[in-house]
Amino acid sequence: MYTREQASQIKQVFWTRFGKYMSPVLSAEGEKINWINYKTGIRSVSFKMNATKDEVSIAIEIVHKDREPALKLYDQFVFLQSFLEEALEEKWEWESAAENEHHQQLSRISAVYKPCNIFKETDWPIIISFLKPRIIALDRFWCEHKMIFELIG
């Protein structure tokens, strides 16, 4: 078992390595991008990557202080679901009403891979091979459809 500080340090090393690994990869628009802290340009929409002792996940999260605008954004993703799944080359889990670790209400579209453990360096290639194609596919989808969300969000 790791202390909170040790766990934080291991995660920081992983995410730093992942960021360096991804740094040569350009966005769909051909620009340099920070893949770890992907900026969607819409305050309510974020792309989240996470790895724990049990799993790795990637998600589109829609968080807004007012539920109505959040649901409009989520509904737009639902409308574009076939385009998103085509870009991702797989189906993800869709939750119109969920809660994050900060107990905020949100909508989430996500993919999870189990079992893997961020605290086992031997699992890092598995985690990277799960995250890399999905964040690149999300970027490709976002570059093509972001304007629609800007009209809503």
> Which pTM was predicted?
0.93
Within a 13 Å sphere around the CA of 3, how many CA atoms are in the beta-carbon half? 3
85: domain CATH number?
Answer: 3.30.1460
pLDDT reported for residue 153: 61
DSSP sequence for 56-109: EEEEEEE--SSHHHHHHHHHHHHHTHHHHHHHHTS--EEEEEEE-TT--EEEEE
Burial class from Cβ neighbours inside 10 Å (0-12, 13-18, 19+) for residue 87 reads: buried
Contact 113, 126 (CB under 8 A): yes
Query: Can you tell me the distance from the alpha carbon of 113 to that of 118, in angstroms, rounded to the nearest whole number?
Result: 12
Query: Can you tell me the distance from the alpha carbon of 118 to that of 52, in angstroms, rounded to the nearest whole number?
Result: 6
- What is the side-by-side order of every strand in the sheet holding 56-62? 45-51, 56-62, 105-113, 93-99
Range of the domain at 101: 4-152
Length of the chain: 153
Contact 126, 141 (CB under 8 A): no
pLDDT by residue for the chain (153 residues), tens only, comes to 789 999 999 999 999 999 999 999 999 999 999 999 999 999 999 999 999 999 999 999 999 888 888 999 999 999 999 999 999 999 999 999 998 888 889 999 999 999 999 999 999 999 999 999 999 999 999 999 999 999 886
Nearest Cα neighbor of 139 from 47, 9, 42, 13 is 47
Query: Can you tell me the distance from the alpha carbon of 65 to that of 117, in angstroms, rounded to the nearest whole number?
Result: 33
* Domains of the chain: total: 1
